[in-house]
Amino acid sequence: MADHTPSQDHVESIYQPKDAVGSAIKATSVTAAAGAFISTIQNTLTRQNVGAMGAFTRFGGTTATFGGGNMDFATGRSWERRRMQANGTTAAMGGAYEFTKNASANLRQKDDAYNPALGGLMSGAMLGLRFRSAPAVVGYGCMVAVVLGAFSYTGGKLEGYRRDPTVDEVARKEFLRKNRRRPIEGTLEELGEGRGIYGPGYVERRAERIKNAYGIDVPSSA
């Protein structure tokens, strides 16, 4: 009877579905909090007495990433029309990005750079909606899609390459140690024994040197 048990490689290649709705809710909460924080700072720095609610009524369109709701801090006047300051732009950007990215991954059954690019397209479109212009929607969407897609394609990290999640970390470090480990003979030839570098039979050779030099018998084992 044939064995239908899937191989390890096949098991690792099976796509694991993601919770698009849950991720979108979390991203919306985080980005909304960030936008509210920036709006509060803008409301505090204005010279006009707009009250505590001005952070929501006047600067509600602020985004954590792009600044939104541009203010002239010297005069306290807004450079944009009040109708363009749509509340929740930050939350919409974060939620649209996470939902689109995970939904695309679930539909395509793949984790690649296209998912962040599609998420960036929708996120940038949310930013462009504040200007109520089709060119702004398309332009911001394409710009964010290109940036996030290229960032994900090149590794998705600023500090280094992306490690393979299927490789055990202990096994990876052991391989690196073995790959870079020099033979003990070459180290002893260049540096000699001592300073924490000891070759095989060092205890016996040390005991023999002490006996020859001082006539003292040193036990070579505990």
Q: So what's the pLDDT on residue 108?
A: 92
**What is the 3-state secondary structure of 33-50?**
HHHHHHHHHHHHHCCCCC
Q: So what's the pLDDT on residue 46?
A: 73
Look at residues 90, 87, 54, 84 and name the one whose alpha carbon lies nearest to residue 70.
84
Q: How far apart are CA 179 and CA 162, in angstroms?
A: 20
Q: So what's the pLDDT on residue 22?
A: 92
**Which sign does the torsion angle of CA 151, 157, 158, 160 carry?**
negative
Q: How far apart are CA 60 and CA 92, in angstroms?
A: 12
Look at residues 41, 39, 45 and name the one whose alpha carbon lies nearest to residue 59.
39
Look at residues 151, 45, 133, 44 and name the one whose alpha carbon lies nearest to residue 97.
151
Q: Are the C-beta atoms of 87 and 57 separated by less than 8 Å? A: no
Q: So what's the pLDDT on residue 147?
A: 96
Element (H, E) at 77: strand 77-78
How wide is the angle at C-alpha 168 spanned by C-alphas 164 and 172, nearest 5°?
A: 80
Q: So what's the pLDDT on residue 68?
A: 39
Q: How far apart are CA 40 and CA 121, in angstroms?
A: 28
Chunked mean pLDDT (size 10), the chain, 222 residues? 51 79 89 78 71 57 42 41 48 88 94 94 90 92 95 81 76 78 76 78 85 83 57
Q: How far apart are CA 120 and CA 144, in angstroms?
A: 5
Q: How far apart are CA 75 and CA 159, in angstroms?
A: 41
Q: What are φ and ψ of residue 122, in 5° steps?
A: -70, -35
How wide is the angle at C-alpha 94 spanned by C-alphas 89 and 99, nearest 5°?
A: 125
